[in-house]
Amino acid sequence: MSKSLRLSEKWFRRGLWLVAFVFAGFLIGLGGTIVGDLPKVEAPLQLDDFLDRPAAQALREQVRAARKAEQDAQTALEQASLQRSKAASESRAERETYSNWLSTRSVTQRSDQDPELIRRTQQLDALKQVEVTAQRALEQQQQAALDARQSAAAIQDRIGEMEYGAQQRLNAERRKVELRVFLYRLALTLPLLAIAGWLFVKKRKSTYWPFVWGFIFFALFAFFVELVPYLPSYGGYVRYVVGIGITAVVGRYAILALNRYLERQKLAETLPDQERRKELDYDLALARLAKSVCPGCERPVDLKNDKIDFCPHCGIGLFDRCGACSTRKSAFAHFCHACGTRARLHLGGKEPQA
């Protein structure tokens, strides 16, 4: 049909389609913001909301105290381990020295060295006692660290049990909130889709059609695209069921419209030639002729064949002769293209303008 439009009209139509898309873009942006902010109508849920807070707080304090005791015990354990290593090293060194000295004495067999033997033996025993004491201290700190870890783990297990039950209740409540928010979004987008369907049926060819189409694009995008990221596991069923319903309604509408159109075509083909051409819209007739189809029945016709003056399918006149110059011209033209004389028969019941 664009070939039959005036140049300015083509650009106006393109501009109006641009208006439709821009309008749809702003509506989509607004709708996306609203849909994204809908969860804010529900209070945010936290795990602590489903815990016995005093009991949980007391257990957490115990855990912190146990962790602190474990840390202190670990520090003391490291110190005890260092002291034991030091005592063991000194004892080992003294034992080696004593062994060397004892070997020397056994060779010399000097009795005057007996007091030294007693002193060294007592010194070695003292170092061994220090090593034993350090070992006991180390074992005590190991036990203290183990007790602190076990105490912290036991308290943590109790907290874990409380949090597990709270998590189950939190998940159940979140599913309820998710359902409510989904219903909010559905309650917002589904009516938009219904309004868009009504506009498509009733207003798509009205004066303000760019805004109508812009709203239709927005409603389709809001329901079938904008809603997708927020669909729960069962939300896909809603989208597909609605899509099937819309397809069924549109399909039924299209089938009925096609049947009505075919009935009108059959009825129109029984009318006289001149009356049929009067009822045809001028621009529509030119658009069909530009596609090499009959303006009356829309069946293909070889318009390049200069011997065809009537549609071989419905009989409507396609070409006639100018009353002034007898030039063969389109029967739907308002004026003769050869001499500019006004046609005797025109379309739409309006006099062509000179």
Task: Give yes or no for residue 333 having a pLDDT over 50.
Answer: yes
User: Cα-atom radius of gyration of the chain, to the nearest Å?
Assistant: 49
Instruction: Identify whether 182 is part of a domain.
Output: yes
Predicted TM-score of the model (pTM): 0.45
pLDDT band at 124 (very low <50, low <70, confident <90, very high): low
CA nearest neighbour of 69 among 187, 152, 169, 171: 152
Task: Give yes or no for residue 4 having a pLDDT over 50.
Answer: no
Verify that 68 and 149 share a domain, yes or no.
yes
Verify that 296 and 279 share a domain, yes or no.
yes
pLDDT tens-digit readout, 130-174: 766 777 777 777 777 777 778 778 877 877 777 777 778 778 877
Instruction: Identify whether 342 is part of a domain.
Output: no
Residue that terminates a domain, selected from 218, 250, 270: 270
Q: What pLDDT shows up at residue 206?
A: 83
Task: Give yes or no for residue 347 having a pLDDT over 50.
Answer: no
pLDDT tens-digit readout, 295-329: 888 888 888 888 888 888 888 888 888 888 888 88
Verify that 185 and 277 share a domain, yes or no.
no
Q: What pLDDT shows up at residue 109?
A: 55
Verify that 120 and 199 share a domain, yes or no.
yes
Percent of the chain with pLDDT over 90: 0
Q: What pLDDT shows up at residue 97?
A: 66
Verify that 194 and 243 share a domain, yes or no.
no
Instruction: Identify whether 341 is part of a domain.
Output: no
Instruction: Identify whether 321 is part of a domain.
Output: yes
Instruction: Identify whether 354 is part of a domain.
Output: no
Task: Give yes or no for residue 352 having a pLDDT over 50.
Answer: no
Task: Give yes or no for residue 287 having a pLDDT over 60.
Answer: yes
Rounded mean pLDDT, 283-296:
83
Mean pLDDT of the chain: 75
* Contacting residues for 96 by C-beta, under 8 A, at least 6 apart: none
Verify that 239 and 294 share a domain, yes or no.
no
pLDDT band at 40 (very low <50, low <70, confident <90, very high): low
Q: What pLDDT shows up at residue 349?
A: 42
Instruction: Identify whether 351 is part of a domain.
Output: no
Of 14-28, 84-98, 253-267, the range with the lowest mean pLDDT is 84-98
**Number of folded domains in the chain?**
3
Verify that 244 and 299 share a domain, yes or no.
no
Verify that 192 and 296 share a domain, yes or no.
no
CA nearest neighbour of 330 among 298, 293, 354, 303: 303
**Rounded (5°) CA angle 225-228-229:** 120
Q: How far apart are CA 221 and CA 332, in angstroms?
A: 42
Q: What pLDDT shows up at residue 98?
A: 60
- The parent domain of residue 204 ranges over 1-232
**Rounded (5°) CA angle 226-232-233:** 125
Verify that 162 and 252 share a domain, yes or no.
no
Verify that 264 and 277 share a domain, yes or no.
no
Verify that 25 and 133 share a domain, yes or no.
yes
Residue that terminates a domain, selected from 178, 202, 232: 232
What tokens were used for 342?
Answer: 């006004």
Instruction: Identify whether 90 is part of a domain.
Output: yes
Of 123-127, 145-149, 254-258, 324-328, the range with the lowest mean pLDDT is 123-127
Verify that 175 and 238 share a domain, yes or no.
no
Instruction: Identify whether 294 is part of a domain.
Output: yes
Q: How far apart are CA 12 and CA 2, in angstroms?
A: 12
Residue that terminates a domain, selected from 174, 209, 232: 232
